[in-house]
Amino acid sequence: MELIDLFLAFASLLFLAFWWRRSFSSSSSAASKAILPPGPPGWPFVGNLFQIILQRRHFIFAIPDLRKKYGPMFTMKMGQRTLVIVTSPDLIHEALVQKGSSFASRPPDSPIRLVFSIGKCAVNSAEYGPLWRALRRNFVSELISPLRVKQCGWIRDWALERHMGRLEAESKRAGFVDVMDTCRFTVCQILVCICFGAKISEEWIRDIDNVTKEVMLITMPHLPDFFPILTPLFGKQMRKAKQLRKVQVECLLPLINNRRAFVQKGEGPNSEMVSPVGAAYVDSLFGLDAPGRGRLGDQELVTLCTEVFVAGIDTSTSVLQWVFYELVVNQGIQEKLYGEIVERVGKEGRIGEEHVETMPYLNAIIKESLRVHSPAHFTLSHAATEETELGGYRIPADVNVEFYIEWMTEDPSLWKDPEVFRPERFLDGDGVGVDMTGTKGAVKMLPFGAGRRTCPGLSLGVLHVNLMLARMVQKFKWVPVPEYPPDPTETFAFTVVMKNPLKAAIVPRL
Ligand code: HEM
């Protein structure tokens, strides 16, 4: 520890003692006026934080037991932060849809996340208000509108052709394929091209993917998130975060600058800049007037482009990994899917984006995978815009409201044999007509959240998963590798993934 760290530590402790006395003697804070739902009793100062840490499992895996004990909505004190955990489908629907605008904000970011969000200048982190509205409107129209999705179809074709080649090469080299790893690379390649309109080297894609992974890990909740007051004590982590931010900017800024020069020259596409001016997401950001910020600077551009990778890579590839896990262990389901593909386009026919929408069994498999293996057990953290009533309690604006979307997919009163992977339930069973967006009333699964902050990438994410799955199953039969038996144990690494990444052998179908 350097001298300055020691000094800051001492100053923090003094401040902490002051804060502790003040917050526990005062009865006028918003939280103390509000009536929060009861929850597990905590320890002085740290609340429930160490009870969770001592369980040696990630917070999300502790929720089912707490839900059993404290009911559909309960409160947890995690250091300085108060978390209201909402688990019942009715309350989640009430908060996110019926009272949508009241629960549409985000809580304060941790000091480390602020380094990467540049003061919450991203769709996912911006507070509910004009900046979020402008960023989200731009995101939807410039990245995922039907017109843009159609315009970028060739990017997926190009990347998926290479993907097939990489699968074959990896299988030849190692004897199996690491599903998550190979799919990650391809999804990253697609998103980089959509974002910057450029084809870049494979090394550069890997660098972007690696730095994105590191950013996701460093911005996951750590001790300082729960004790912002102690931030000065965590100088080392802060320096590490700033260094990583520098690496991230060095990795992405050249792409932004190249694209800016191309847009300014107004040239036509070439072998590197493959999308015409106006067709890449970043083009729309150059001219965007962001409320409260004005024209966006380089740092904000890096953050907004990174958001596409952070939000779009892990989620989609985690879904793919779980789907392949199920296909490898349930060969009957895989063959039924192959049958649907052959019937629709033939053994060698090109599977287009227009085909995957009209393959009921393919879609049922994805929905069942999202139900049984949702990559997100929680939505992102929400916050009320002002003190608001929910389930008979008053929720103040200064607490995190955490929506646990996992429980509704495990609830035996909503699903028959909820633990069983059975895509057919979406064709003729308890999944028929299920609405994944929460717009039609009662909810049974919300893997993308619901309401104002619902995932804007739903259609793009599902398209990537559908298309990759269909093409990978058309070309290869996927079978287990005896040395690495598929193991469904879960772990949390930004999304819920397989603790032992799936390795599968591939057998060409033709
Ligand atoms: C299958 C894949 C995906 C899943 C399961 C998923 C899931 C989610 C969930 C649960 C949320 C939180 C909603 C909330 O806080 O209430 C979210 C937010 C978000 N997602 Fe996705 N997502 C996926 C793919 C994508 C893709 C491909 C993109 C973009 C390229 C994307 C962009 C975003 C953004 C920007 C937000 C923040 C929205 C806001 O705060 O207004 N997602 N997603």
pLDDT at residue 31 in the model: 44
pLDDT at residue 34 in the model: 58
pLDDT at residue 401 in the model: 97
pLDDT in tens, 431-473: 999 999 988 878 999 999 999 999 999 999 999 999 999 999 9
pLDDT at residue 27 in the model: 37
Residue 443 in any domain: the answer is: yes
DSSP string, 209-260: HHHHHHHHHHTS--HHHH-GGGGGGGHHHHHHHHHHHHHHHHHHHHHHHHHH
Torsion, CA 185, CA 186, CA 192, CA 197, rounded to 10 = 150
Residue to probe by mutation, ligand 1, list 123, 455, 494, 496, most atoms within 8 Å of CB: 455
Report the atom number in ligand 1 closest to the C-alpha of 452. Answer: 41
- Parent domain of 337: 34-508
Question: CA end-to-end span of the chain, whole Å?
Answer: 62
- In this structure, what CATH number is given to the domain that contains residue 420? 1.10.630.10
Which residues are CB-contacts of 142 (< 8 A; sequence separation ≥ 6)? Answer: 148, 281, 283, 284
Residue 389 in any domain: the answer is: yes
Residue 22 in any domain: the answer is: no
In the chain, which stretches have pLDDT less than 50? 1, 3-4, 6-11, 14, 17-32
Q: Which residues are annotated as a binding site?
A: 455
Closest residue by CA, ligand 1 atom 19:
455
Rounded to whole angstroms, the Cα distance separating 489 from 500 reads 7
Residue 6 one-letter amino acid? L
Residue 1 in any domain: the answer is: no
Protein residues whose CB sits closer than 6 Å to any atom of ligand 1: 123-124, 136, 307-308, 311-312, 315-316, 319, 375-376, 379-380, 447-449, 453-457, 460-461, 465
Residue 243 in any domain: the answer is: yes
Q: What spacing in Å lies between the alpha carbon of 443 and ligand 1's midpoint?
A: 18
Rounded to whole angstroms, the Cα distance separating 70 from 84 reads 12
Residue 141 in any domain: the answer is: yes
Residue 3 in any domain: the answer is: no
Rounded to whole angstroms, the Cα distance separating 507 from 510 reads 9
Report the atom number in ligand 1 closest to the C-alpha of 382. Answer: 15
pLDDT in tens, 374-391: 999 999 999 999 999 999
Report the atom number in ligand 1 closest to the C-alpha of 405. Answer: 10
The 3-class SS string of 139-173 reads HHHHHHCHHHHHHCHHHHHHHHHHHHHHHHHHHHH
Domain count, the chain: 1
Residue 5 in any domain: the answer is: no
Q: How many CB atoms lie within 10 A of CB 39?
A: 21
3-state SS, residue 186: helix
